[in-house]
Amino acid sequence: MEKASTAFSASIFTAISLLVSTLFIQGVEGSIIGVNYGTVANNLPPPEQGIAVTVTATNDQIPNLTRIEFAQEWLKLNVRTYIPATNIVRIFVGNEVISTANKLLIASLVPAMETLHTALVGASLDRRIKISTPHSLGILSGSSSPSTGKFRQGYDTHVLKPLLSFLRDTNSPFMINPYPFFGSSPENSRLRTGDSSQADVDAESAAQYNRNLMQHVTSGGGTPLMPNRTFETYIFALFNEDLKPGPTCERNFGLFRPGHDSGVRYWNPQ
């Protein structure tokens, strides 16, 4: 990609990731482009209907989700209450759980997914709603080049093997949160701040990057290891979230400000 198409800004940041719910855009057959709809804010516009939604169970809920009674109640409060009016198609159990190094969470991850699936079966929702969990690239012992990557020893057989078996048996996707732009060069990490004084850190360059990403995903070109394949790809995030903790950049990853303004001069919403 050209230089302008490889620039990020903090306000328009691309990653394969998730938060609480995800909007889907269907491209070529099998390819999906989604947008993370984060909710850590008090000034967001209401989400429109007619979208497919993914609901996330937080990491701290994972140990309790191993109990069928808790899983059934969680499903009732967070999923069944909103369907069929809301098209919920996925449940993500936690986020980057293995990277937390929390032994209880890691040991509970697959059992929680299995128990939640049992609750879905009991509610006759297992064909409609699939369960997965996103991982960081930290689950790999090495990723350069990506095609030679291997799972970390210890996690490969004790966690990831049963997890992959569960995903295969339930026809659910394997999810990962890579940051390829940061990984390609250490110098690129500075662009995450979105400092307007830095070269190519502007809304136009970021918009071009996202356009190129969507064109590649929907082209069906795939990856060097798996050509002619399509993958679900998520852009992080739809709106700025003014209540998120941490540095300023954490509150400014949105494609749009809450007032639907993308920040691009003379931007046309059509």
Per-residue pLDDT reduced to its tens digit, 3-22: 333 333 333 333 333 333 34
Mean pLDDT is lowest, of 104-108, 197-201, 265-269, for 265-269
Sheet holding 32-37, edge to edge: 13-14, 232-236, 32-37, 21-26
pLDDT band for position 48 (cuts 50, 70, 90): low
Distance, in Å, from the CA atom of 236 to the CA atom of 18, rounded to the nearest integer, reads 7
Q: Which residues pair with 180 in a beta bridge?
A: none
Distance, in Å, from the CA atom of 128 to the CA atom of 23, rounded to the nearest integer, reads 16
- CA-wise closest residue to 205 among 34, 15, 12: 12
> What is the predicted pLDDT for the residue at 3?
34
> What is the predicted pLDDT for the residue at 121?
98
Dihedral sign (CA 234, 150, 58, 193): negative
- CA-wise closest residue to 13 among 246, 201, 230, 217: 201
Distance, in Å, from the CA atom of 98 to the CA atom of 94, rounded to the nearest integer, reads 10
Question: Is the per-residue pLDDT at 137 higher than 90?
Answer: no
Higher-pLDDT residue of 60 and 236 is 60
Burial grade of 165 (CB within 10 A; 0-12, 13-18, 19 or more): exposed
Distance, in Å, from the CA atom of 193 to the CA atom of 214, rounded to the nearest integer, reads 23
> What is the predicted pLDDT for the residue at 251?
80
Whole-model pTM: value is 0.67
Q: Which CATH architecture has domain 3-251?
A: Alpha-Beta Barrel (3.20)
> What is the predicted pLDDT for the residue at 182?
56
pLDDT tens string 172-207: 999 988 765 555 555 555 544 445 555 566 777 778
> What is the predicted pLDDT for the residue at 149?
77
User: What is the percentage of the chain residues whose pLDDT exceeds 90?
Assistant: 35
Highest mean pLDDT among 60-69, 139-148, 210-219, 245-254: 60-69
Highest mean pLDDT among 74-83, 133-142, 233-242: 74-83
Distance, in Å, from the CA atom of 72 to the CA atom of 79, rounded to the nearest integer, reads 10
CB distance 131 to 113 below 8 Å:
yes
Region 39-55: what's the mean pLDDT? Answer: 73
Question: Is the per-residue pLDDT at 159 higher than 90?
Answer: yes
β-strand pairing of 175-177 with 134-136? parallel
Region 68-78: what's the mean pLDDT? Answer: 97
> What is the predicted pLDDT for the residue at 196?
52
